[in-house]
């Protein structure tokens, strides 16, 4: 629906990240991060809590800017875009929030219609038809009049997905899409992500912790730690690559490259006893 700027010189890569460095409150989040997200694929970003996965999504949409490096989305350097150019870019990016973020005072139909009413001047009949089509795509056309409080967790996630695709985006960012879902709802969301990616040619990036779910839907996985990509590959085999990073993360080990103890200095000094072992 939106006229996007097609400035990319590499049709196989939609998001290119080079040397991204970000420090928040004195803590390094990214330390020269490099990542290529392929066009038309489902890419999963995994890592321990606090490694900056959601922060990375905010960088891609221009909500946050790094201290160094660059992010190119469809060939456009996000950090150099004007306000209007950034808004145009964001219309081509759908975002599925962790908690679905539905507007509690609006019914399902109006939740999906909200971006269209806010950012376009389309006639009501066209808005209606677009919303109905998006709800049909996620299997919830019959739930259009329900309020968010009447929805199950899985249904709410699917309504949020209908809203995320209302502008026919080139890219969808999923922030923890599987959290809190029962097995049936989880499989429904997995099916939707894969189906939308294939039928609409969308590029999908999802932040997740659930490797078994990721195996079913993702084409490629990036594991990040210490501000960098420490492992990447096929989701079905990445856990078996033998590296200490994948062994700790996918094996659930309490200690390893990510230490159990947060750096704190000498325990003896903290307690006032000389020579006490750390």
Instruction: Report yes or no on 194 lying in a domain.
Output: yes
The CA-to-CA distance between both ends of the chain, in Å, stands at 61
Instruction: Report yes or no on 158 lying in a domain.
Output: no
Of 1-5, 62-66, 109-113, 209-213, the poorest mean pLDDT is in 1-5
Greater model confidence, 184 or 273: 184
**Could you write out the DSSP letters of every residue in the chain?**
--------S-TTEEEEEEEEEEEETTEEEEEEEEEEEETTSEEEEE-STTSSHHHHHHHHTTSS--SEEEEEETTEEGGG--HHHHHHHHHTEEEE-TT----TTS-HHHHHHHHHHHH----HHHHHHHHHHHHHHTT-GGGTT--GGGS-HHHHHHHHHHHHTTT--SEEEEESTTTT--HHHHHHHHHHHHHHHHHH--EEEEE-S-HHHHHHH-SEEEEEETTEEEEEE-TTTGGGS--HHHHHHHHT-SSSSS-SSPP---HHHHHT-TT---
Three-state helix/strand/coil letters over 133-157: HHHHHCCCHHHCCCCHHHCCHHHHH
CA distances from 220 to 123, 157, 211, 215 (A): 40, 23, 12, 9
Average pLDDT over residues 71-77: 95
Domain encompassing residue 173: 13-101+168-250
pLDDT digits (tens, 9 = 90+) for 179-238: 888 899 899 899 999 998 888 889 999 999 888 899 999 999 999 988 999 989 998 888
Instruction: Report yes or no on 141 lying in a domain.
Output: no
Instruction: Report residue 57's pLDDT band, with 50, 70 and 90 as the boundaries.
Output: very high
Of the candidates 121, 144, 124, the one whose C-alpha atom is nearest the C-alpha of residue 132 is 144
Are the CB atoms for 71 and 15 separated by under 8 Å?
Answer: yes
- Give yes or no for residue 1 having a pLDDT over 80: no
- Neighbour count for residue 21 (Cβ, 10 Å): 15
CATH number, domain of 206, equals: 3.40.50.300
Instruction: Report yes or no on 82 lying in a domain.
Output: yes
Distance, in Å, from the CA atom of 278 to the CA atom of 267, rounded to the nearest integer, reads 5
Greater model confidence, 200 or 277: 200
The count of domains in the chain is 1
Rg over CA atoms, the chain: 21
Distance, in Å, from the CA atom of 273 to the CA atom of 153, rounded to the nearest integer, reads 53
Average pLDDT over residues 148-166: 93
Instruction: Report yes or no on 60 lying in a domain.
Output: yes
Instruction: Report yes or no on 1 lying in a domain.
Output: no
Instruction: Report yes or no on 210 lying in a domain.
Output: yes
Distance, in Å, from the CA atom of 14 to the CA atom of 74, rounded to the nearest integer, reads 5
Distance, in Å, from the CA atom of 60 to the CA atom of 172, rounded to the nearest integer, reads 11
Instruction: Report yes or no on 118 lying in a domain.
Output: no
At which residue do the structure tokens 């060939």 appear? 75
Distance, in Å, from the CA atom of 30 to the CA atom of 225, rounded to the nearest integer, reads 9
């Amino acid at each position: 629906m939106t006229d996007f700027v097609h400035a990319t010189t590499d049709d196989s890569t939609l998001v290119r990240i080079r040397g991204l460095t970000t420090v928040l409150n004195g803590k390094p989040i990214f330390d020269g991060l490099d990542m290529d997200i392929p066009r038309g694929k489902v890419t999963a970003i995994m890592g321990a809590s606090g490694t900056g996965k959601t922060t990375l999504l905010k960088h891609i949409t221009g909500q946050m800017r790094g201290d160094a490096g660059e992010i190119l989305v469809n060939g456009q350097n996000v950090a150099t875009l004007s306000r209007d150019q950034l808004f145009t870019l964001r219309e081509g990016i759908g975002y599925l929030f962790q908690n679905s973020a539905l507007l509690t005072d609006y019914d399902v139909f109006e939740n999906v219609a909200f971006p269209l009413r806010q950012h376009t001047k389309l006639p009501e009949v066209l808005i209606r038809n677009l919303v109905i089509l998006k709800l049909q795509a996620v299997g919830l056309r019959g739930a259009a009049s329900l309020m968010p409080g009447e929805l199950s967790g899985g249904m709410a996630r699917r309504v949020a997905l209908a809203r995320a695709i209302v502008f026919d985006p080139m890219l969808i960012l999923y922030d923890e899409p599987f959290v809190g879902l029962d097995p049936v709802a989880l499989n429904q969301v997995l099916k939707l992500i894969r189906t939308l990616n294939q039928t609409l040619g969308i590029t999908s990036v999802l932040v997740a912790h659930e490797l078994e779910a990721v195996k079913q839907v993702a084409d490629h996985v990036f594991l990040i730690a210490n501000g960098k990509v420490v492992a990447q590959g096929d989701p079905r085999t990445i856990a078996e690559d033998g590296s200490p990073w994948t062994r700790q993360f996918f094996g659930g080990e309490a200690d390893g490259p990510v230490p159990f103890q947060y750096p704190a200095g000498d325990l003896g000094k903290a307690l006032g006893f000389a020579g006490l072992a750390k």
